[in-house]
Amino acid sequence: MTVTHFDLPRPIDQARLDQLRNTAGKGPVLILTHDSPDPDALASGMGLFTLLEHWEIPGKLVYFGLVSRAENRAVLNLLTPDWQAEESMPDLAGYSAVALIDTQPGAGNNRFPLDRVPDIVIDHHYPRWDALRPVRYVDVRPELGATASLVYQYLEAAGIKPDPILATALFYGLQTDTRGLARDASHEDEAIYLKLLNWIDRPRLIRVEQAGLSRDYFRALSSSLSAARVFGRCVIANLGEMQRPDLPAEMADELIRLESARAVLCFGVYKDQLQLSLRTEPSGQDAGLLVQKVIGSLGKAGGHGTMGGGQVTIDQRSLDELGAEIEKRFLELMGEKGTGLPLI
């Protein structure tokens, strides 16, 4: 029987915990997240790993792609070192269950096989119900600002107080996904944020927040700012060929702070894939829905609130041709036109 958050009582009760535990089985449970995971994904997976460990169910945390953003690397190394990087999907036959955390089947941002069905999905992005219906346990809540908040609720219901390192990871995951509760945060996020604040390892948090930046970062920042063009109240930055896939997200986070900007679209190519990130102002259009319209049938897209992203595989079309099509769709949807003015 498929279990969704719509079917189950709130707050999470013992019956709900039992359903998740039974779905997990005797272990080991393979825990996967989206490619090139961010702090929310890393922390949420570690939270589920801790819950399973409490139930004496072994788990394995696996991610694909690169963790290259300085702060994200610090989270991985200092707060969630149990994650293992892999190049290919492990043999699923060796696991009692597979859990997708902070992502969903068919989202296009994870390596889970399209012809397989995961056993557990826990996420805070808009539900992709066509792919979720056959999943045995589903808890997808787009009203929450971070998957870390959702996973914390399971820990709390199980009577688990996170140790300082896990508390710091969950806190930072929640903080980054909501920009310190300023973006897409619910009342539940606010309450959990304040609870976790009492338990964090402050020296480690400082080391994460002040993680050192390489010269390559500043080169990429300079190049990105030079590529940015302003179309009325929108900004577009074509970053070209990239050395890491998360650069559009990092640059979009910076450019949306431009005065009067309503929406920002950044994209570039990494390993034959066009990676896109879209940001909107808090009172503006829903970024998740907007990026889905921008990408359409060209690829996969998702998100919610003020954050969205997607991927398009580059085959026969050149980057210039594909980029021009993406820009045209974005500007039409935003009601802007023209050739744009350089940001700097």
* pLDDT for residue 319: 79
* pLDDT for residue 10: 55
**How is the chain split into domains, by residue range?**
14-208, 215-342
d(CA 9, CA 297): 36
206 within 8 A of 219, measured Cβ to Cβ = no
* pLDDT for residue 7: 45
Which tokens hold the place of 49?
Answer: 């790993």
* pLDDT for residue 5: 42
* pLDDT for residue 282: 83
To 10 degrees, what angle do helices 147-157 and 187-197 make?
A: 70
CB-count exposure of residue 14 (10 Å: 0-12, 13-18, 19+): exposed
Full 3-state SS string of the chain = CCECCCCCCCCCCHHHHHHHHHHHCCCCEEEEECCCCCHHHHHHHHHHHHHHHHCCCCEEEEECCCCCCHHHHHHHHHHCCCCEECCCCCCHHHCCEEEEECCCCCCCCCCCCCCCCCCEEEECCCCCHHHHCCCCEEEECCCCCCHHHHHHHHHHHCCCCCCHHHHHHHHHHHHHHHCCCCCCCCHHHHHHHHHHHCCCCHHHHHHHHCCCCCHHHHHHHHHHHHHEEEECCEEEEEEEECCCCCHHHHHHHHHCCCCCCCEEEEEEEECCEEEEEEEECCCCCCHHHHHHHHHHHHCEEEEECCEEEEEEECCCCCHHHHHHHHHHHHHHHHCCCCCCEECC
122 within 8 A of 99, measured Cβ to Cβ = yes
Query: Per-residue pLDDT for the chain (344 aa), expressed as one digit of tens each?
Result: 444 444 433 579 999 999 999 999 999 999 999 999 999 999 999 999 999 999 999 999 999 999 999 999 999 999 999 999 999 999 999 999 999 999 999 888 999 999 999 999 999 998 989 999 999 999 999 999 999 999 999 999 999 999 999 999 999 999 999 989 988 899 999 999 999 999 999 999 999 999 999 998 899 999 999 999 999 999 999 999 998 999 999 999 999 999 989 999 999 999 889 999 999 998 788 898 999 999 999 998 888 889 999 999 887 677 788 999 999 999 999 999 888 999 99
**Architecture field, domain 14-208:** Alpha-Beta Complex (3.90)
* pLDDT for residue 179: 87
Which tokens hold the place of 338?
Answer: 């023209």
CATH of 215-342, one of 1.10.1060.10, 3.40.50.150, 3.40.190.10, 3.10.310.30: 3.10.310.30
* Residue among 59, 77, 58, 57 at smallest CA distance from 67: 77
Which tokens hold the place of 5?
Answer: 């958050």
121 within 8 A of 135, measured Cβ to Cβ = yes
* Residue among 9, 73, 343, 322 at smallest CA distance from 210: 73
pTM: 0.89
* pLDDT for residue 266: 97
d(CA 68, CA 44): 19
* pLDDT for residue 6: 41
What is the b/e burial string over 223-253, where b = at least 16 CB atoms within 10 angstroms of the residue's CB? bbeebbbbbbbbbbbbbeebebbbbbbbbbb
* pLDDT for residue 315: 78
